[in-house]
């Protein structure tokens, strides 16, 4: 039997190897911190450069007599028009993106997500393929195009903007994904029998415009993963200056009161990183800071109180060289 022994040279090599492994770990943590911390700082600065105006209006746009019974108001025939004023705090460079934000709306619910017919949306020959769209599959015995709960619940609040008594135009072209317009919604598919039932969910659609050009619908049909989400309404193609007063005439049509939802109008600029999102920068800083702390801690422990290696002579195969 071949005996294994640690001589002086092998012991030193083992010690050097241990030191090398410790330095590898410290270097890895330090490298991550050196990369992540600057990225986090840059991301935070980019996010802070984004200018946002957020106006929550679903409660303010309800008459005083209906504050305690909002559902009755939204289901009544009373006028839903409401006037709001937005003040620009900081210069906003074009393009300025107009979003509507909904809170407590679960578009990711399984039954809701599955309630659509992709083949019907894409091909005119499949206009009667409504098998997956219940309960919004037919109306008066005829297939609904587009069918399903997602299309039925299409957001229908509208916004009109004015600045210095002049209408502020909102460009609604190109607000949806090009891939969706080209490959998911047919150019020869037109709305049929839509919102003709006794219970109307949301917005109506122009039956003379193909689905590939109904961009509000296309934006809405890309369902959100979280219960709080924003969807693009349009773009303002001019700069806004500090202290500008934007007057908004909106139609408060969409019923979020039945599920205690919130509605917000958002005007936002963008940076090279996109919209306002502090989470990304904070995440990078947190990971980078943690790695820096671990690298520093391991360095201090290694220098101040290094791990003492055991005496190889106590190993069993050294105590019994013959293998007994």
Q: How far apart are CA 247 and CA 81, in angstroms?
A: 13
pTM strictly above 0.75: yes
Please tell me the distance from the alpha carbon of residue 80 to that of residue 59, in angstroms, as a whole number.
12
Q: What is the pLDDT of residues 230-264, one digit of tens each?
A: 999 999 999 999 999 999 999 999 999 999 999 99
Q: Phi first, then psi: what are they for 215, rounded to 5°? A: -70, -30
Q: How confident is the model at residue 314 (pLDDT cuts 50, 70, 90)?
A: low
Q: Name the pLDDT band for 308 (thresholds 50, 70, 90).
A: low
pLDDT confidence tier of residue 312, bands split at 50, 70 and 90: low
- Quote helix, strand, coil % in the chain, to nearest 5: 35, 20, 45
d(CA 285, CA 287): 6
**pLDDT tens, 123-178?**
998 888 999 998 999 988 899 999 999 999 999 999 999 998 899 999 999 999 99
Taking the C-alpha atoms of residue 142 and residue 157, their distance in angstroms, rounded to an integer, is 28
């Amino acid at each position: 039997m071949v005996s294994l022994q640690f001589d002086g040279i092998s012991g030193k090599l083992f010690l050097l190897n241990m030191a090398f492994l410790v330095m590898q770990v410290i270097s890895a943590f330090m490298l991550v911190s050196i990369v992540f911390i600057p990225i986090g700082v840059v991301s935070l600065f980019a996010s802070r450069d984004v200018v946002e105006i957020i106006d929550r209006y679903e409660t303010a746009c309800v008459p005083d007599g209906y504050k305690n019974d909002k559902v009755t108001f939204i289901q009544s025939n009373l006028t839903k028009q409401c006037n709001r004023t937005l003040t620009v705090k900081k210069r906003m460079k074009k393009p300025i993106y107009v979003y509507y934000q909904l809170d407590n709306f679960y578009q990711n619910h399984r039954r809701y997500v599955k309630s659509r017919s992709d083949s019907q949306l894409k091909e005119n020959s499949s206009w009667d393929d409504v098998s997956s769209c219940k309960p919004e599959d037919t109306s008066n015995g005829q297939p609904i195009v587009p069918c399903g709960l997602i299309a039925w619940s299409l957001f229908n609040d509208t916004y009109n903007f004015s600045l210095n008594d002049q209408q502020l135009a909102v460009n609604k072209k190109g607000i949806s994904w090009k891939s969706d317009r080209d490959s998911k919604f047919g150019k020869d598919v037109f709305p049929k029998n839509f919102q003709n039932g006794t219970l109307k969910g949301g917005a109506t659609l122009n039956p003379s415009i193909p689905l590939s050009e109904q961009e509000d619908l296309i934006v809405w049909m890309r369902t959100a993963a979280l219960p709080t989400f924003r969807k693009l309404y349009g773009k303002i193609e001019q700069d806004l200056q500090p202290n500008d007063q934007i007057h908004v005439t909106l139609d408060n049509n969409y019923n979020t009161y039945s599920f205690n939802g919130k509605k917000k109008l958002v005007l936002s600029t963008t940076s090279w990183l996109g919209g306002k999102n502090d989470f990304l920068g904070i995440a990078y800083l947190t990971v980078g800071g943690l790695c820096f702390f671990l690298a520093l801690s391991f360095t201090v422990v290694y220098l101040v109180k290094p791990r003492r290696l055991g005496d190889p002579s106590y190993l069993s195969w050294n105590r019994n060289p013959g293998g007994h």
